Structure 1
Amino acid sequence: MRIVWIAVLAAFFVSPLAVAQEADRLSARDISAYLRTMQTKPGMTGAPGGQPAGNDSCRWANDNECDDPRFGTGACAINTDHSDCWRIMQGVEDDSCRWANDGECDEPGFGTGACVQGTDLTDCGDVIELRFRTDSCETAFNGVCEEPEIGNGRCEARTDRADCVGRDRPLTINDHFFGHDDRIFMDTSVMPWVAVGQVTFDSGGACTATLIGDDVLITASHCVHDNGRLLPAGDFETGYDLPNGPVTARVIDAFVSPQWDPVRFSGTDEIDGTDWALLRIDRPLGRTVGQVGIRGLVDTAGRRGALRAALYQGGYSWDTGAHLSGNDGCHMTRIYNDGTMAHDCDTTRGDSGSPFMVREGNDYFVVATDSNFRSNPDGPFIYIAVRSEEWLEYYEDFAAGRLGQARPRPGGPAGPGKPGMTPQPTAPAGVPAGSPK
């Protein structure tokens, strides 16, 4: 989710000179999307404001985000990300960014990313307290602040955010908490959460996926594509809370919508309903640890029934470490005719492909999977999930081996992937799987 930052903007940028010529007509978000496509970002070769260049030897230096472990993400060694960190380190944050004071936070992470960290102070003021904080502590979400100095010290610094800072979130935050973070940790030793795991892809990155058959997973299509190629190979792992530890399997096959189109999906909202992928693993884990059912909720309950239904969602969010976090009792908020729905479940990066389930007694059924977001000029982003109706017709043929990467549905290929999605590098220590680093 949240990795779909309008990749087709690259078509408008031919050179750094072209960027300079277009800058006056581009919004901060447009510039942010462009910067994400650049290996070396223009105008960021030295520290601004006349400060000494310092040591920018880290791989992630000059990416606008502070990665020093004392003040930032921890992706860099101490003092190797000077240009991105010096304002925070010296306590001299300011409004020196070109897009400061435009009413939109342009910091990395919680904002658009168009500004260097610490240069959009006024616009990001109500978000700064959340910067570089996570809920990755083992006892996060328990209502007790356990960070050092401000709590009992059982958690590491900056890892018990909700308990120490609170769950209220400013609506300006570029994340998905709807003003309040309602997530909790899920027990992955019991159903349905033991069936919800994470795929770490050989090409880089990770997404959430769910066992819906003996050897079948459901996730998001954008997770299994890279640079126009279908690359589903990776390791699926689930059941972290089982007595003997997690169980794993290899992803060996995939099938995506025959209508998947990289350009249209990246640049429009027209085919969001194609963002699903069925994966096959090499072990029948669903037979041993359990699997959940599948259902087209709108087809079976109608639109009103679907909007009233309580949803159970769980995913491996970037900010909760190795824990499965999720929502108990969120809802669909709008149903679209393209096979998608909007929801009010608190999801974020890393939750792509995660399931939205309904419960009947002790049984759970996947009714949608997490996808992306749509811009909303009149308010917060609209967060989108693909309803199960979009892929239910393919499930039996895929489970029986009649469909797959080498056996596309007659009448259309499995479809290429999204351009411009370069593989994520292996995350350095301290960087959550699925984060932009």
Structure 2
Amino acid sequence: MRIANNSLIMGLAALSLAVPRPALSQDIDFGDDSSAWANDGECDDKRFVGPGMTETTLLETDVGRDATDCRTAYEDGKLSLRGDKPGIDSSAIDWGDDESEWANDGECDDRRFAGAGMTATRLLETDLGHDATDCRTAFEAGNLKLRTDTPRPDAASIDWGDDESEWANDGECDDKRFFGPGMTETPLLDADVLHDATDCRSAYEAGDLSISE
């Protein structure tokens, strides 16, 4: 029997109350920038997890050696410490079933979640509650967290800027104020902030981006 979407969503508020506040950035020893991959816009320190992480293999030698990238992503809300336990027993979450077309592909396609374990493809309403194995596996590995029940800002309230970026209108958002599967996989540049309006707004309105607070 398929799970009703509204009943799945209703549980988020109660579950999110169990999540402790994350460590303040000033309480974390980010280390230095001696990694070969420092200052490339992606965190390579395996102590962290989230959409601000690199998609390449994480190396022990980069722990504490990518401070600027990791601190920036952490303060933008794109990372959390792996040691920050979500405080939610996975058995308390209604995972649903594996009826999604994309079930059992190693990536979570359920938009109730966020984190490094999510697919990079567009999130569909029809997959909500139908990718149980992938999402539960990633959650229990510390690679996902439940999205909060805080509503996203309306698109009309966001200053999207213009399309003056070199990478405007390529189907990927290059504005580092945002995060999610609608983002480019290339390093994010300060010069592109407010200059990729069409790509970012399209992805945001499709539910593929969130804006950093």
Q: TM-score range by the shorter chain?
A: 0.3 to 0.5
Which structure carries more helix by proportion? 2
Q: Could you say which structure has the larger radius of gyration?
A: 1
Greater share of residues in strand: 1
Give TM-score, length-normalised by structure 1: 0.20
TM-score (norm 2): 0.35
